Amino acid sequence: MFYYLLPFFSFLPLLLLSRFFLVTTPKNHHHQNLPPTPLSFPVIGHFHLIKDPIHRVLQTLSLKYGPVFTLQFGSRPVLVLSSPSAVEECFSQNNVSENRSCLEKNMKHDYTSVIPAPYGPFWRKLRRITTIELFSITRLATHSDVRQDEIRSLIKTLLLEIVHDNFTRVGLRSRVQDMSFNIIMRIVSGKRSFDPEIHDLKEALNFRDMITGISKAPRVPFRTDLLPFLKWIDFQGMKRTLLRLKVKKDASSEDLLDKCWKKDGVSNKQMIDAMLSLQEAQPENYSDQIVKGILLTLLLVGTDSSAWTIEWAMSLLLNHPDVLQRAREEVDEHVGHKHLIEEKDLYKLRYLQNIVNETLRLFPTAPLFVPHESSKDCTIGGYNIPHGMMLLVNTWAIHRDPKVWEEPTSFKPERFERSVGDGYNYIPFGMGKKQCPGAGLANREIGVALGSLIQCFEWERVSKKLVDLSEGKGLTMPKYEPLEAMCKARECMFDVLSKLLDAS
């Protein structure tokens, strides 16, 4: 009898463990006509398929299973959309809300940031504050001189490094990062963070490292969110890393608030002063947590993402010198050689804007939407979608869909000289209610910075080999290899550049 019962007792612990470890099936799992899905393993589901870069993996799967398919990330079913029609059907006809992942819970001031806050009255309040106080046309115009000044500082740092009349090898990543970060810090607090005369460079470096650390977070929810048995384990040290970043973030934002509270008077030129002035008048609407959440939003959407786009654009231009030459001719024709490009010149530089648009098509700032979830049962692409299913939109795949774009992997800015579709073909800043509010700021900064680099300098690759366009890790998809290029000042701009150096 013992030998007959031994297999049963051996199997019983496995059965009990399976109820604890295995995937949690949603209540409505009996739905028929679900989207196709690859074969999965118990417990981990499809995590064995997930590797960097995740957007490329999801695109490969969509080529096999179609633009609407599902995956199982541990305990969570995930719907992946990779076509404009599926995204349109999802967002225009069905109700979806953002999913709260471990990153948001640990990093975003209890959802007081407009990015992770769920849609509803509180989100509408944050969105209104953000739109009026941060990204309105009036507010953007107020800080145009800040952006112009920092872009000129970028030009000066390059001028001081290159050898007169000779091509000099320069690195662009750190310079455009410093420019972008200084713009945001001056808008927020009125002070530059990276300056030769700054007294506390360590403080600035810590603050930028904190922002960069957040931007390098995984693009899909953490395994500890989706595999319950890992919640007691600090998987890959992620929990420790998040806590360290949170401490840095809280200390930095508290320090920024404290310094501004000690200042005499309020100037609307500085964002944080305006926010604290509003806090005095309406304390119920502008708590410290809300102010810090809004400031973090500005820092996140306005620093590395703009710098990466400028770096991608310059990489593409170096690989396509004919496009670079056409852009330079446009700048020479509409701006000339007597002054540097200003924001008011951008509307005349249509081809330059096409270059920015094409860069964002090939290398969108966020290759995947922030995860959402279906809040009710719905139908997408003819498939039944149960409520509670996580949703991932693969922006990168949509921007390279051969059914939508001719020669989708080619860099062809002229494609934007005509209409690109109904709005769902091209979504570099997201869409709908959750569209990135910083698009206007990004377009101004990227346009003037890129135009200034083209106007002031000659550019060549460091060798005959094309610039590597491999993607790195992170929420905002930087280049894998930092960009280096050969640079020299243009003779036709000597007078303007000499005055710029003399002014310093």
Annotated binding site: 436
Length of the chain: 504
Collapsing DSSP to helix, strand or coil, 86 comes out as helix
Q: With 0-12 CB in 10 A as exposed, 13-18 as middle and 19+ as buried, what is 194? A: buried
Compute the distance between CA of residue 312 and CA of residue 121 in angstroms, rounded to an integer.
38
Give the start-end residues of each E strand in 214-345: none
Note whether 437 and 115 are within 8 A (CB). Answer: no
Between strands 390-393 and 76-81, the pairing is parallel
Task: Name residue 66's amino acid.
Answer: G
Note whether 280 and 291 are within 8 A (CB). Answer: no
Collapsing DSSP to helix, strand or coil, 237 comes out as helix
Compute the distance between CA of residue 85 and CA of residue 96 in angstroms, rounded to an integer.
16
**Residue given tokens 């904190």 in the structure block:** 210
User: Residues marked as binding for heme?
Assistant: 436
Task: Please name which of 255, 303, 302, 311 lies closest in space to residue 459, comparing C-alpha atoms.
Answer: 311
Long-range Cβ contact pairs of 141-148 (< 8 A, separation 24 or more): 142/268, 142/269, 143/186, 143/187, 143/269, 144/343, 144/444, 146/183, 146/186, 146/187, 147/183, 147/343, 147/444, 147/445, 147/448, 148/342, 148/343, 148/448
- Residues contacting residue 217 through CB under 8 Å, at least 6 positions apart: 103, 107, 474, 475
Angle at the Cα of 320 from the Cα atoms of 319 and 323, rounded to 5 degrees: 150
**Run of H or E residues at 139:** helix 137-142
Max CA separation in the chain (angstroms)? 99
Compute the distance between CA of residue 203 and CA of residue 438 in angstroms, rounded to an integer.
25
Neighbours of 417 (CB within 10 A): 11
